[in-house]
Amino acid sequence: MSKRIVIDPVTRIEGHAKISIFLDDDGNVSDAEFHVVEFRGFEKFCEGRPYTEMPGITQRICGICPVSHTLASAKAGDALMAVNIPPAADKLRRLLNLGQFIQSHALSFFHLSAPDFLLGWETPQSRRNVFGLIASNADLARAGIRLRQFGQEIIETLSGRKIHPAWAVPGGVRTALSEEGRKKIRGWLVEAYLTTQTALDLFKKTLQNHQREMQIFGNFPSLFMGLVGPDGTWEHHGGKLRFTDSTGSIIADQLNPQKYFEFISESVQGASYLKSPYYQPLGFPAGMYRVGPLARLNVSEQMGVPKADAELKHFKRMGHGAVTSSFLYHYARLIEILACLEWVERYLEDPGLSSRDLRADAGINQLRGVGASEAPRGTLFHDYTVDRGGLLQKVNLIVATGQNNLAMNRTVAQIARHYLGAWNDDEIPEPMLNRIEHGIRCYDPCLSCSTHAVGQMPLHVRLIAPDGKVMAEAARG
């Protein structure tokens, strides 16, 4: 007879993380499930709307990564119109995405994750957050907050802060980068580099103290997926898809993201509302893959910019073939911030960004269009089917958190296995809760709970026996 452990939202508030940990007959952890309530009904809600409204509508799916959705949506629109957007528009969209990466990664690292590993796992929750970080390392915390501001500044400079218009639109973008905007962005760069470098040094130093975390926070073989350029260079908005395995071998390369449905299948499992996609040729669950910073760095041969390339070399040495520990998502995130800064600097030198040729004009030329873009958390797909006039008939969104769902489950199981041993207690050990929380945070899942109450993730963990009986539970709001 095996048992089950659940971490459930205490009061089913949207965005709370509910975790079930399954025990086998001997009380060992056999499996875990991380459930999220997300996206229900959204795809239905869009049906009947013109595709041109989608970049505006979808950026409201999620308050945390609106830019990613608006970009993927605009790209899906390009596909429906069957146009190549003007080169300046592509660069401007990229610049916007870089801004989004910087702000999102800075939030994840400095506000949400750093307090855990810089302040120590056993620090009480009330202090293990960005405020605690400010108290103990004010300079770093402040620099982190400013780095995030810089990312937001790029977004605002491009798309305007007024009524949150969809600036990236089917066919291109609405406005160019002004000379003034260019100056403003450039003015931040020195400081941003400095902060990123400091964080990188600090992270690498603390890694020595986190060997155990590296071992148990989602360290397992899996596939990795991300967009890459034709020569395997890191991509974040264009390019084609590449899958590698945990030995670092390329399983498939230059797959057309528009045809994702030919090689990615989705399984909707158990009580989880998230769809769990897998690489179809390998079947389920062998086709499980991870997306996001760790995956992107694993599939990329180079970042295409010197400073980040030097870091990438260092990163690659941390694995045999691929870097398989999800704890190193944090490191990958920092390297990506560095790459983003270098790419931003490059784009600022590009006179093309002031071009007035920003938008391709066309009607509907294709009834199905897929837009794929890298969001900070991983590859994002918007798949639209429209009628002749451009009204949506069907919408399918594949989000990063869904793609990482299986990996998050395994991470939770791995951590639980380590901390529970053979469970025969009545209590769920507190250190385990902290670690599970962080294990999930490595993926920076896009749930409202991941930013809820700065640094505290509302969790509900339950241990469940094979007969479905709840053996123990622990909750925290």
Partner 1 sequence: MAAKTLTIDGTQVSAEEGATVLQVARDHGIEIPTLCHLEGVYDVGACRLCLVEVAGIAKLLPACTTKISEGMELKTNSERLQKYRRMTLELLFAERSHVCAVCVSNGHCELQTLAYSHGMEHVRYDYCFPKWKVDVTHRLFGMDHNRCILCARCVRVCWHIEGAGTKNVSGRGASANIINDLNQPWGQSDSCTECGKCVMSCPTGALFHKGSTVAEMVHDRDKLEFIVNAREKKQWIV
As measured in angstroms, the least distance from the Cβ of 416 to partner 1 is: 42
As measured in angstroms, the least distance from the Cβ of 166 to partner 1 is: 5
What single letter denotes the amino acid at residue 232? G
Where does this chain touch partner 1 (CB under 8 A) — which range of 4-12, 161-169, 231-239, 264-272? 161-169
Whose Cβ is closer to partner 1: residue 70's or residue 272's? 70
169 binds partner 1 (CB under 8 A): yes
Identify the residue among 179, 231, 349, 361 touching partner 1 (CB under 8 A).
361
| Contact assessment for residue 261 and residue 251, using Cβ atoms and an 8 Å cutoff | no
What single letter denotes the amino acid at residue 1? M
Whose Cβ is closer to partner 1: residue 26's or residue 387's? 387
User: Of 113, 105, 139, 153, which Cα lies nearest the Cα of 454?
Assistant: 113
Whose Cβ is closer to partner 1: residue 369's or residue 402's? 369
Identify the residue among 6, 61, 166, 397 touching partner 1 (CB under 8 A).
166
Runs of H (alpha helix) within 120-178: 130-136, 138-159
d(CA 474, CA 477): 10
What single letter denotes the amino acid at residue 318? M
- Asked, as a colleague might, if the bond just before 285 is cis with ω within 30 of 0, I would say yes
SS3 255: strand
User: Of 331, 148, 69, 336, which Cα lies nearest the Cα of 226?
Assistant: 336
d(CA 102, CA 344): 10
As measured in angstroms, the least distance from the Cβ of 160 to partner 1 is: 10
Whose Cβ is closer to partner 1: residue 42's or residue 131's? 42
Whose Cβ is closer to partner 1: residue 41's or residue 389's? 389
As measured in angstroms, the least distance from the Cβ of 391 to partner 1 is: 6
Site for partner 1 in 369-398 (CB under 8 A): 388-391
Identify the residue among 30, 39, 49, 267 touching partner 1 (CB under 8 A).
49
**Contact letters (x/-) for partner 1, 52-91, by CB under 8 A?**
xx-xxx--x-------------------------------
Q: Which two tokens stand for residue 285?
A: 């669950």
163 binds partner 1 (CB under 8 A): yes
Q: Look at the alpha carbons of 93, 95, 101, 102 in this order and tell me if their dihedral is positive or negative.
A: negative
Site for partner 1 in 421-450 (CB under 8 A): none
Radius of gyration of the chain from Cα atoms?
22
Question: Phi and psi dihedrals of 176, rounded to 5?
Answer: -85, 180
As measured in angstroms, the least distance from the Cβ of 165 to partner 1 is: 4
50 binds partner 1 (CB under 8 A): yes
165 binds partner 1 (CB under 8 A): yes
d(CA 254, CA 297): 16
Whose Cβ is closer to partner 1: residue 163's or residue 271's? 163
Reduced to 3 DSSP states, what percent helix, strand and coil does the chain have, rounded to the nearest 5?
A: 45, 20, 35
Number of H helices, E strands in the chain: 16, 16
Q: Which two tokens stand for residue 204?
A: 């690498």
119 binds partner 1 (CB under 8 A): no
**Contact letters (x/-) for partner 1, 310-349, by CB under 8 A?**
----------------------------------------
- Count of residues in contact with partner 1, rule CB under 8 A: 24
d(CA 164, CA 175): 14
d(CA 401, CA 290): 10
Whose Cβ is closer to partner 1: residue 139's or residue 387's? 387
Site of interaction with partner 1 (CB under 8 A) = 48-50, 52-53, 55-57, 60, 162-166, 169-171, 174, 361, 363, 388-391
